[in-house]
Structure 1
Amino acid sequence: MSADLLAHVPGDRGWPLVGHTLMFVRDARGLTERHRRRYGDVYRMRVLGREGVTFLTPQATREIYLDPGKVLSSEGGWSSSIGPLFRNGLMLRDFDDHHRHRRVMQQAFSRAALTGYVDAIHDVTDRHLRSLPAGDVDVYVLMKRLTLDIAAEVFVGVSLGEQSERVNQAFQAAVAASITPLRVALPGSTYRRGLQGRAELTRVFGELVAQRRREEPRGDLLSRLAHATTEDGELLPVDDVVDHMVFLMLAAHDTTTSTLAVMLWQLALHPAEQDRVAEEVRALDGAPVTPADHGRLEHTTRAMQEALRLSPPVPFSPRHALADVEITGVRVPAGHGVNVSSLALHRHPDWWTRPDAFDPDRFAPGREEHKQHSHLFVPFGGGAHLCIGNHVAEVMVKAIVARLLAGRRVTADPAAGVVIRAVPIPKPRGPMLLTVR
């Protein structure tokens, strides 16, 4: 039945039972590129039991993100993957419900709040880098621990201390479970470990919420949510606060880790680009990176944008059609999926010169390839679900890179064969070793 309803869309249903799921998990970028070459910029695909249409044009991306008819459900799009593991986060809420909850959280992402996070970001970064020895270091592992500690200090108002590694492992288990094809909690299975990770995160943040409600309100987001009230004057349910904090902490550290690791890896492989960034950050003379520094750190910004282009932190944005909808002239029947692939769009050869090359100057005045269309470069999504923490992430990335490269140099072995697994959040398949001196 589904195949008939999508008969007008090029593509195929993949293997029996599993569709394209195994290929998607193994090599999402390769699968997407093969489909683009075979079927064009619009094709159907079946992943995790859901059949839908993938669009690889900036105009389709715009129409999907803006969703003028309010018929494309983000909750429905994500429910088959992260739904049971990161339930009720902002990406898993729709329309008026999403707007209400986003408004409650928005206060923690104002410019004034962001300025207040600067000291914590730099203090935690300096603590980690003081103990960083010269020699080889796995940059992904280093950045994951660092960004998790920063997110805890900024949004929770505490150092996780001895709990840090357990929380880190719990997040990793939950993320890995989000794309496993076997979604049954069998003993020893990836999905069971993911649910156990979710239970650990619920326990940790549930205890923290209870603690905050016994205290006077503080400035961190957890305290603000713990004391926030509904329109009826009631405190937000504990489950809502926990769900928001779990999802936010994932977004605040896992996606930023990906961007930092890719950016530093590429700078290590391109010493001339690293020199340009290092010269900029040394000019700060040790001063903290603030939101006001974005304009001065021009090449650092372009290097970060290029890392986000090559490896967008959310490489696919699924939606579920609640009613029949037409996108760039293609009819998608109700009940089917709609998918934006920033991973493919950011490397589309029709829009980018040498799309697989690390070339920060593609964002420089005079070229500005990303400005060919308003929705060609979408590393933080768009529309109502534009990443609420994108400005915090930018400050974190620039602050960490500035602190690291102001007095150090990183190199990497081009023959190391590092491969980035794109989904669910970009991560190297093995060690990502940089030499620090």
Structure 2
Amino acid sequence: MATLAEQSPSIPKHWSEGVPDVADLSHIPGEGGWPVVGNTFKMLADPHAFTRRMVETYGKVYRTKAFGGWNVALIGAEANELVLFNRDKIFSSEQGWGPILDQLFPRGLMLMDFDHHRIDRRALSIAFKPEPMRHYSGALNRGIADEVSHWAGSMRFYPAIKKLTLDLAADSFLGIPWGPEADRINEAFVDMVQASVAPVRRPLPFTKMKKGVDGRAFMVEFLTRETERRRAEGGGQDMFSQFATATREDGSLLPVDEVVDHMSFLMMAAHDTITSSATSLIYYLAVNPEWQEKLREEVVAVTGGPDGSGKPRALDYDDLGKLELTEMAFKEALRMVPPVPSMPRRALKSFEFGGYHIPAGTHVGINIFWTHHSDEYWDDPFTFDPMRFTPDKVKARHKYAWVPFGGGAHMCLGLHFAYMQVKILMAQLLQRYRIEAEEGYDPDWQDWPIPQPKDGLKVEFVKL
């Protein structure tokens, strides 16, 4: 059988084409679950418990049926390295994420492979160069300071930070004042993300997928209009203007529809993943007050602390690298609650792993949450401990044991933006408040599609 890559010079976008059937995968241990739906509902109900049981029962390579097809799970840091580094170009990210996201976020960087991905990534990377990042830093400092100054008292943190990250996206990403479309944009993103794991994959009336597809239609119309305006006006320093005027290696502008798809995807990724990761960090600081105090001391040492009027000083762009302990705490929160718990790919050609032959066309996936909580790589893995990320410990650990931002060519393009936003948030909060939670507080988390506490995370900000 020819590999999929050999069958077509451009990767086919038909997700069912060339997929091995259960007979082709019968040598791999695993189970299909219930008729028709397979293990879909078991995975949605508690994906981490499901993975734990499958690994304990079948080992770190197993097959399962969910979301309408068979998938082979490849578990552990070695699997992460094989799939993410993708040295031999075995795996397609486009065909892995495609069945999940193609109706909602088509042609985002995560849904591109090889040369097309490399060319567009290079064009878009201009938005994350030092000069634009310095501009975003100023916008983030202003926006975060204005909003969190009103946060004293008891609150549900997740909806508050979700609103704030969306407001910040309007400023840093879009470069426009937040107008009457804000609620509709937020609703569109929520619908699109929720539709990504909807069991019904067709946009039938009254389904999550229909709401998601409608949300995408709204975003396409809004972002197309804005892209054309940016080009007519000559751009600006905000991220959207940088994308709208980005050029490929031959000097040509990206097509408008591709700018729209890239911006839609990156806004979703930044909006939802930063919301999730900032929430997990706040939770762990609230229930680990000794770590919260260590970060506060670091922030005060770097910024100089509040000014004479008691107003917190802004975190200067050039001082971001000095918040080393804050970065370690953020990395530990990302380990504990990775915002993307698993990642799919599709094999373009046959390969061997863990003693098994995996045929071309197989949908495969790695599990980041499992690796982040495995005692193979971490001592006492369910305990929050930022000291895991000292340089010596990082060097001694498998490079792919911690992969919240992915790895290889598809490493998250905006990871430094995420670090910057969270550090600025911590600098403002920790100079103003002590973050508290009820004794023994342990919220239940919704695991998919992007983790969030089901109760919104109940915390109290006590003025210092």
Q: Which residue of 2 aligns with 1:191?
A: 209
Give the conservation status (yes or no) of the 8 Å contact 1:125–1:146: yes
Pair 129,17 (structure 1): closer, same or farther in 2 beyond 3 Å: same
* 2:122 is the counterpart of 1:94: no
Shift of 1:204: 1.8
Distance in 1 separating the partners of 2:90 and 2:387: 38
Q: CA deviation at 1:50?
A: 3.0
Among 333, 346, 349, the alignment partner of 2:359 is: 333
Aligned equivalents of 1:237, 1:121: Cα separation in 2: 29
Contact 2:377 2:398 in 1 (8 A): no
Task: Give yes or no for contact 1:50–1:336 (8 Å, CA) kept in 2.
Answer: no
Residue matched to 2:308: none
Residue 355 of structure 1 corresponds to which residue in structure 2? 381
CA 1:291–1:355: 2 relative to 1, 3 Å: farther
Paired AA for residue 75 in structure 1: E
Q: Output the CA distance in 2 between the equivalents of 1:377 and 1:232.
A: 36
For residue 107 of structure 1, the aligned residue among 126, 135, 138 is 126
The change in CA–CA distance for 1:232 and 1:104 in structure 2 (over 3 A counts) is: closer
Write out per-residue CA displacement over residues 38-91 of structure 1, whole angstroms, 9 at most, x where no aligned residue: 222221122212322212221121111111221210010001111210111000
CA 1:271–1:230: 2 relative to 1, 3 Å: closer
In the alignment, is residue 236 of structure 1 matched against residue 254 of structure 2?
yes
What is the alpha-carbon distance in structure 2 between the residues aligned to residue 290 and residue 94 of structure 1? 37
Aligned counterparts of 2:459 and 2:370: Cα–Cα separation in 1: 27
Q: Secondary structure at the match of 2:220?
A: helix
Alignment of 1:63-212 (within 5 A): 63-132=82-151, 134-212=152-230
Q: Could you say if the C-alpha distance between residues 68 and 329 of structure 1 is closer, same or farther in structure 2, counting changes exceeding 3 Å?
A: farther
Determine if contact 1:321/1:336 at 8 Å carries over to the other structure: yes
Q: Could you tell me which amino acid in structure 2 is paired with residue 169 of structure 1?
A: E
Matched residue, 1:318: 344
Task: Give the % identical residues.
Answer: 38
Match of 1:288 among 311, 314, 320: 314
Q: Which residue of 1 aligns with 2:15?
A: none
Deviating more after overlay: 276-285 vs 414-423 = 414-423
Distance, in Å, in 2 between the alignment partners of 1:166 and 1:371 is: 47
Deviations 1:142-166 (A, max 9, x none): 1111112222212221232332222
CA contact (8 A) 2:277 2:337 kept: yes
Which aligned segments of 4 or more residues in structure 1 are displaced greater than 6 angstroms?
none
Aligned residues: 435
C-alpha contact (below 8 Å) 1:316/1:341 kept by paired residues:
yes
Tell me whether 20-29 or 372-381 shows the greater mean CA deviation: 20-29
Deviates more, 1:417-426 or 1:314-323: 417-426
User: In 2, Cα distance between the equivalents of 1:294 and 1:58?
Assistant: 29
Distance 1:20 1:297, change over 3 A: same
Tell me the SS of whatever aligns to 1:406: helix
Residue of structure 1 equivalent to 2:28: 9
Aligned ranges for residues 379-394 of structure 1 at < 5 Å? 379-394=404-419
Alpha-carbon deviation of 1:229? 4.2
* TM-score (normalised: structure 1): 0.94
Conserved 8 A contact 2:141-2:424: yes
Query: Secondary structure at the residue paired with 1:279?
Result: helix
User: Per-residue CA shift, 1:190-241, capped at 9, x if unaligned?
Assistant: 1111111111211221221122122123222322332334566554322111
Instruction: Find the aligned partners of 1:66 and 1:360 in 2 and give their Cα distance.
Output: 26
Q: Which stretch has the larger CA shift, 40-49 or 60-69?
A: 40-49
Structure 1 alignment gaps of length 5 or more: none
SS state of the match for residue 436, structure 1?
A: strand
SS at match of 2:65: strand
Equivalences for 1:15-26 in 2 at 5 Å? 15-26=34-45
Q: Which runs of 5+ in 2 are unaligned?
A: 1-19, 306-311
Distance in 1 between the 2:247 and 2:289 partners?
A: 52
**Aligned letter for 2:434?**
R
Aligned residue number for residue 307 of structure 1: 333
1:224 aligns to 2:242 (yes or no): yes
| AA aligned opposite 1:238 | V
Report the residue type matching 1:363 in the other structure: F
- Other-structure match for 1:261: 279
Counterpart of 1:270 in structure 2 is: 288
3-state SS in 1 of match to 2:101: coil
